Amino acid sequence: MRSAVIVGAGPNGLTAAARLAREGWKVSVYEARSTIGGGSRTAELIETGVRHDVCAAVHPAGASSVAFRSLRLEEHGLRWVQPEVPLVHPLGGERAGVLYRSLDDTVAALPGRDGARWRRLMQPLLEDFDYLTGFTQGPLIGVPRNPVAAAQFGLRAVWPATVLRRMFRHDEAQALLGGLAAHSCLPMNRPFTGGLGLMLGLMGHAVGWPVAEGGSQSIVDALASVIRSHDGELHTDHEVMDLRDLPSADAVLLDLAPRQLVAMSGGRLDGWRGRPYRRFRHGWSACKVDYVLSGPMPWTAPEARRTATLHLGGPFSEVEESEAIVQRGGVGARPFVLVAQPTVADPTRAPAGRHTLWAYCHVPNGSPLNVTDRIEAQFDRFAPGWRDLVVGRAVRTAPEFVEYNPSAIGGDFAGGSMAGLQLLARPRIALDPYRTPLPNVWLCSASTPPGAAVHGMCGWHAAASVLRG
Ligand SMILES: Cc1cc2nc3c(=O)[nH]c(=O)nc-3n(C[C@H](O)[C@H](O)[C@H](O)COP(=O)(O)OP(=O)(O)OC[C@H]3O[C@@H](n4cnc5c(N)ncnc54)[C@H](O)[C@@H]3O)c2cc1C
């Protein structure tokens, strides 16, 4: 029987392990912390019985993941729960940019002719969504199977958000696009930021922006269940510091940052072959605040009360400015804040009378800044009176994210910057970027294509590379 050792039990490490286990390999997973899950854990942070997603909370990428579908995670306890509305971007008072599941509803709600423009942008891509998901969920280097659809997407995706926004005249559509593009963790004038926003918007129409019932932990628990059902082993509280300490195996897959691979390699990557791994650039981090509330958030925009995900930051220009300040090494007075209110869609996470709120804004890599006051000032703006509902809060800064997860270098939560070539080719330019220069060692983390988010696709493709031999 062939055997594999996987280091790191994040969604990518577990997906790689699940795929190999299903193919009849003997797999053993080693996780540094006391629980599995990496950026997909759920925990009681403030009050007994109230469960918070410590990192990832909202799952358009998970719901469209080819890997999760193929592994039939629903049969292992995973259930996606859809809020009534995928995403809302409040603009003050009752105004908001709203991404509905239905393209028609989204088009109808956008003012002026912006609805028709939104349709022009989205409709052709939506028709090719299944192909585009497969295309964007893997290495982008290579010959596309459907060059027409790929070109159609590429011609729209290559633009910076600052250029794509010019398609629209009104704040609603512009802000919607800007908030989506801000997930790139890049200044909005960078190429492909518009494309990343487009893809997230498309996912909203095609699969929604669901949360996982009971919390994101249920995604990784389902992966663990697949592994165990094929007699795989999971070891927690086992931090691996050197590859030579691992049991011998036919393949070693690392759900880790490239820098960790170098550190573990016993000097074998000190030369030119290790250069891309040593030079790999890490991106922004987050300052995150979780709350237990005694009631739902009193958003002034009615649609905001029907969604699990909000982008707070006002019009496009403010979001653009917020992200430009992070790029310059600071955090603005009005930061762009990503908000999840999972209990709107999934009441199982908290007892009656309790609600959870999850919010973070971008901070520079490694920044120890605690910007809770600035995040809360944005809540004051769009949900006045919310402070009366606060039962408790828990803050996590970038250095605390490093402590929580050793592969979050400087608190980088995207597995590496998506700037420049690193968007397309990470951690190095290669047809098989998962394979490393070390014999029988693969990288399977979000530092490989397609990058950040809980979709398991990095692990899925790394396992495919292992299976190819
Ligand atoms: C605040 C925040 C919010 C986010 N929100 C979302 C969201 O809403 N939706 C979404 O899709 N994504 C979101 N993400 C991103 C998502 O969590 C990550 O992209 C995803 O978890 C990456 O998965 P991974 O398996 O590559 O790595 P990770 O999840 O980082 O897992 C790596 C694992 O390896 C372990 N490890 C590290 N070093 C060692 C070692 N030496 N030995 C053994 N084990 C080790 C770690 O403890 C960890 O468990 C968010 C991330 C953060 C931080």
CATH of the domain spanning 3-41+212-281+415-468, picked from 3.50.50.60, 3.40.50.1000, 3.10.450.710, 3.90.1150.10: 3.50.50.60
Distance 404 CA to ligand 1 centre (A): 10
Q: Is 286 in the pocket of ligand 1 (CB under 6 A)?
A: yes
Q: Indicate whether 42 pLDDT > 90.
A: yes
| Residue pLDDT, tens place only, 426-448 | 999 999 999 999 999 999 999 99
| Residue pLDDT, tens place only, 72-113 | 999 999 999 999 999 999 999 999 999 999 999 999 999 999
Q: Is 305 in the pocket of ligand 1 (CB under 6 A)?
A: no
Q: Indicate whether 152 pLDDT > 80.
A: no
Q: Is 31 in the pocket of ligand 1 (CB under 6 A)?
A: yes
Check residue 142 and give its pLDDT: 62
Q: Is 405 in the pocket of ligand 1 (CB under 6 A)?
A: yes
Q: Is 55 in the pocket of ligand 1 (CB under 6 A)?
A: yes
Give the residue range(s) of CATH 3.50.50.60 domains in the chain.
Answer: 3-41+212-281+415-468
Q: Are 250 and 467 in contact (CB under 8 A)?
A: no
Check residue 424 and give its pLDDT: 80
Q: Indicate whether 128 pLDDT > 90.
A: no
Distance 69 CA to ligand 1 centre (A): 20
Q: Is 42 in the pocket of ligand 1 (CB under 6 A)?
A: no
Calpha distance 55→32 (Å, rounded):
17
> Which atom of ligand 1 sits closest to the CA of residue 37?
49
| Residue pLDDT, tens place only, 340-392 | 999 999 999 999 999 999 999 999 999 999 999 999 999 999 999 999 999 99
Average pLDDT, the chain: 96
CATH 1.10.150 is right for the domain spanning 81-211+283-403:
no
Q: Indicate whether 141 pLDDT > 70.
A: no
Give the residue range(s) of CATH 3.90.660 domains in the chain.
Answer: 81-211+283-403
Which has the minimum average pLDDT: 121-125, 171-175, 419-423?
419-423
Q: Is 35 in the pocket of ligand 1 (CB under 6 A)?
A: no
Q: Indicate whether 204 pLDDT > 90.
A: yes
- Residue closest via CA to ligand 1's atom 52 equals 55
Tokens of 177: 């696009």
| pLDDT over 70 percentage in the chain | 99
pLDDT class of 146 with cuts at 50, 70, 90: confident
Mutate to test the pocket of ligand 1, among 35, 40, 264, 307 (most ligand atoms within 8 A of CB): 40
Q: Indicate whether 44 pLDDT > 80.
A: yes
Dihedral over Cα of 396, 333, 85, 383: its sign:
positive
